Amino acid sequence: MAVKSEGGCSLCNQRCGKTAMSRHLLQCAASHSTGTGTAVPRVLIAAEGGPYWLHVDASVKATLDDLDAFLRKIWLECCGHMSQFTIGNTPYDRVENDDFGLGAPSGSMNTKLAAVFTRPGLTARYEYDMGSTTELKLRLVGIFEGRERAGRVRLLARNEPPMWPCDRCGTPATNICPHCADERDGALLCDTHVESHGCEGPEGMLPVVNSPRMGVCGYTG
């Protein structure tokens, strides 16, 4: 089922889809640059997972750790799971240099974004939770001149919440069963039909939220 995926620019309120938003923000973010001091390079990064997407800009001082913290807060955090970026053939995590010899040597999340997101179009993979993994695709939309501000990573645009229909009646779903979510058959339910769900009942349901982590582990938004 196709899911409508539009969002609004936080700088000028223009609404558009994911691809058009990337083009729009590259110009809009530069023209709306405010703050103190001289202009410095800032990176514009798009992140997506399924029908969910967002765009951020970040200071040249920002690190992968800053971006990790942002993604956890807005989209993913449920139980303090491990996470990892993979850029090129190099993983970046908090277990540096693969001390246990279990894989390729890793880089540090203290690495600055400007050191790894070096050219427009470059893509990277981000994974949260190595058990019930939520995977995101990251892309460097571009680099522009902007002034420094207090937050190292700033949200510029995000998709509006998709409307998921109840699998029983088609009205907007408010609950998802984490045990049935992989099949998507009977997993999405409105408040009226959640009582009759034969898996674990209302107590085992999770809320429908605007996140690619919806229905996974204990994520509630």
Residues 99 and 194 in one domain: no
Q: What CATH number corresponds to the domain at position 41?
A: 3.10.290
pLDDT in tens, the chain (221 residues): 456 689 999 999 999 999 999 999 999 988 876 555 677 888 999 999 999 999 999 988 899 999 999 999 999 999 999 999 999 999 999 865 544 445 555 799 999 999 999 999 999 999 999 999 999 999 999 998 877 766 789 999 999 999 999 999 999 999 999 888 776 567 899 999 988 886 766 678 999 999 999 999 989 99
Beta-carbon contacts of residue 89 (< 8 Å; ≥ 6 apart): 104
In a domain? residue 186: yes
Q: Which domain holds residue 54?
A: 6-159
* Domain total in the chain: 2
In a domain? residue 140: yes
